Amino acid sequence: MNTIEKKQTSPEAKKTKKMSGGSVIAKTLKNYGIPYVAGIPGHGCWMLTDALMEEGCEIPFIQVMHEQSAVHMADGYYRASGKPMAAITSLGPGAANTIIGLGTAYADSTATILLTGAPATHMEGHGVMQELDRFHSNDFSRVTEGVTKRHWEVNRVEQLPFILHRAFNSMLSGRPGPVHVEVPMDIQTEPANVELHDLEKRMPVGKIRADSKAIEAAVRLLLASERPVIVAGGGAITSEGTEELRKLAEVVGAAVVTTWNGKSAFPEDHRLFAGSVGQTGTTNGNALAANADVVLSVGCRFTDWSASSYRKGASFSFPPAKLIHIDIDPQEIGKNYPTEVGVVSDAKLALEDMLALISDEDMAKIQVKRKDYFNEIEQKNEEWEQKIAPRRDSEDSPMTSQRPLAELRKVLPRDGIVVVGSGNTQGAVKQTFPVYEPRTFITSGSFSSMGWAVPAAIGAQLAQPNRKVVCIVGDGDFMQSLPEIAVAVMHNIPVVFLIQNNMGYMSIRGGQRKITGRHIGSEFNLKNGEPYTPNFAEVAKSFGLKSWRAETPEEVSEALKAALETDGPTLVEAMTARDAGGPFVPGWWDFPVPAYIEDERQDEYAEGRALEQHL
Ligand SMILES: Cc1ncc(C[n+]2csc(CCOP(=O)(O)OP(=O)(O)O)c2C)c(N)n1
Ligand SMILES: [Mg+2]
């Protein structure tokens, strides 16, 4: 993917065992299976990127237009494959540009390794070009403290094998997350005799498995329950436990609901699928989960968004419902809700262990006992279908946010992947775009970063070159990383970028209007009040993508078909309505109402807040 001008290595140089710090890193990344490195070279990382051209160290380099995108790309790669890729940047601004990338990966627990350059150790603190030195010499690392699982500063080349196996162990084991290694410029160039470490010898055998008492208690509760609901979070997908999840749901007769990151953990055309939970969840999902007597949570941490800010009866009711909470991270157990059974385990293994305790006889009894419950799930699903149908099937032009999604679903294969940005599109896809296989829906669920979707989709396509990848993104979100479409062109990465253009931050305007009845800074307008937008299809053409601007459902449908058949990146700009185009809001969200509003909105807020169960 990159052009590597092969360096001529002299026979003497080949004989010596000494390697520069840069080569130690490049060779280790290669040995540990890193498939791509994304980033922007700068003087602070010259010898890190240079080492990627050394014999035996070659890893394709994808240059991006903004360092944040390098981390988002690695994040998308991990979410689509479960495998990490790396990002490399220079020091100073290049390194600082990665912070939102790291924060996004940290919030959603995705494994990514970032290497940044730093001033040479003998120059630290002197105000080296691009150094942050006033509070503390070479101070960038501390900036990453809140957004990484761990970080390391390298002081000697000899430390590198140790630091690198620690970094890989940290990002991949337990609850995954992003790690950062800072490599001073002299360490990148200095030679040393080092022995590289095998990663297999530095990783545990197997994964964390639950205490058998916890598994027995969980199964007893589920078998005795009347209205069980399984909440699938991102951990169900990360653990590769979706097959076990489906089997357990069938065996115990539980409805399954998903969170942002849990979407795609369960096939949405399965009779036990009951939508999603939270503020922009679905009516069926929220109603069933809020009225369950036993909830089994699989790799979900109950964010306020997924739990309707813990308002009793909106998405959940603990108590009276009893919670079985499976999580790899013991700190999540009991954090937001009291648990009946807290299970610390890899989700797949816990589900496997639970299945092993359930007999055919138990299963047969359950199917009889759940007859009415199954009917209720079906009926609630039908009610939701009736609610979304008018927006999804609307013939309006400009279109609803949902209509282009309906057209896309018709033409995207079952294993096609959608990578979804923030704003109205994020909620609309969650509610009205069914997915069927794990890792086919990817979104920045918790940090919900604008600017993430475009590079993340490129990363997902790199991870899954044989699948269709569609990036669904609002115009505002798109404009935060628009230049990255150049990367897709240069490397011929065939992502379809579906831009929903409603000329502004309409999800934000919706919230502003709802709470205060007015809005500021959310519409894109000219001075005279006329709506403003660039023509994204034309912009894309000038970048070298085949593109279409679609005003009607028919035009979107035709454009998407053509885009998916194109061998190379494409862009479809769907013109969507500023009004009445957003997702439904079946849940609740704790957003304080300002004191100067003195009408019923204050009472509604106070009433909701009084019902919150998390304190
Ligand atoms: C980096 C970042 N800044 C601000 C926000 C807050 N925010 C969430 S959605 C949104 C608007 C998104 O606009 P667009 O992509 O056009 O989608 P729309 O809401 O119009 O559907 C904003 C500003 C965010 N999520 N991320
Ligand atoms: Mg918009």
Residue 476's pLDDT is 98
Residue nearest to atom 23 of ligand 1 (CA): 505
* 425 pocket-lining for ligand 1 (C-beta < 6 Å): yes
Q: Which atom of ligand 1 is nearest to the CA of 421?
A: 15
496 within 8 A of 563, measured Cβ to Cβ: yes
What is the atom index within ligand 1 of the atom nearest the CA of 479?
Answer: 15
Atom of ligand 1 nearest to the CA of 426: 21
Rounded to the nearest angstrom, the distance between the alpha carbon of 454 and the centre of ligand 2 is 15
Q: What is the mean pLDDT of the chain?
A: 95
d(CA 256, CA 73): 30
Cα(589) to centroid of ligand 2, in Å?
A: 21
Instruction: Find the ligand nearest to 427 CA.
Output: 1
Strands (DSSP E) contained in 43-192 are 61-63, 86-89, 112-118, 150-153, 178-184, 191-192
Q: Identify the residue whose C-alpha is closest to ligand 1 atom 2.
A: 450
CA of 594 to the centre of ligand 2 (A): 25
Q: Which of 420, 446, 450, 475 to mutate to test the pocket of ligand 1 (most atoms within 8 A of CB)?
A: 450
At residue 305, the pLDDT reads 95
What local confidence, expressed as pLDDT, does residue 484 receive? 98
Q: Hey, is 231 helix, strand or coil? A: strand
pLDDT of residue 180: 98
* Ligand 1 contacts CB of residue 450 (under 6 A): yes
For 213, 248, 289, 302, 336, the CA distances from 317, given in Å and listed in that order, are 25, 22, 8, 12, 12
Q: Please work out whether the CB of residue 477 comes within 6 Å of at least one atom of ligand 1.
A: yes
Instruction: Locate the ligand 1 atom nearest the alpha carbon of residue 477 and give its number.
Output: 15
Give the position, in ligand 1's atom list, of the atom nearest the Cα of 507.
19
**CB distance 135 to 171 below 8 Å:** no
Angle at 154 between CA 149 and CA 160, to 5 degrees: 90
- Residue 582 has a pLDDT of 82
Q: For 46, phi and psi rounded to 5 degrees?
A: -50, -45
476 Cβ closer than 6 Å to some ligand 1 atom: yes
**Is the shortest distance between the CB of 113 and ligand 1 below 6 Å?**
no
**Ligand 1: residue whose CA is nearest its atom 21:** 424
| Residue 3, pLDDT score | 44
Residue segments in the chain with a per-residue pLDDT below the cut of 70? 1-17, 580
Q: For residue 424, which atom of ligand 1 is closest to its CA?
A: 21
User: Which residue's CA is the closest to the ligand 1 atom numbered 3?
Assistant: 450
- Ligand 1 pocket residue status of 506, Cβ below 6 Å: yes
Q: Whose alpha carbon is nearest atom 11 of ligand 1?
A: 505
Ligand nearest to the CA of 423: 1
Full-model pTM: 0.96
Identify the burial level of 224 via C-beta atoms within 10 angstroms of its C-beta, where 0-12 means exposed, 13-18 middle and 19 or more buried. Answer: exposed
**AA identity, residue 282:** T
* pLDDT of the residue at 491: 97
What is the model's pLDDT at position 12?
A: 43
From the CA of 474, give the closest atom in ligand 1. 15
Residues 569 and 497: their CA atoms lie apart, in Å, by 8
What is the DSSP code string of 172-218? Answer: HSSS--EEEEEEEHHHHH-EE---PPPSGGGS-SS-----HHHHHHH
CA of 493 to the centre of ligand 2 (A): 25
End-to-end alpha carbon distance in the chain? 52
pLDDT recorded at residue 120: 97
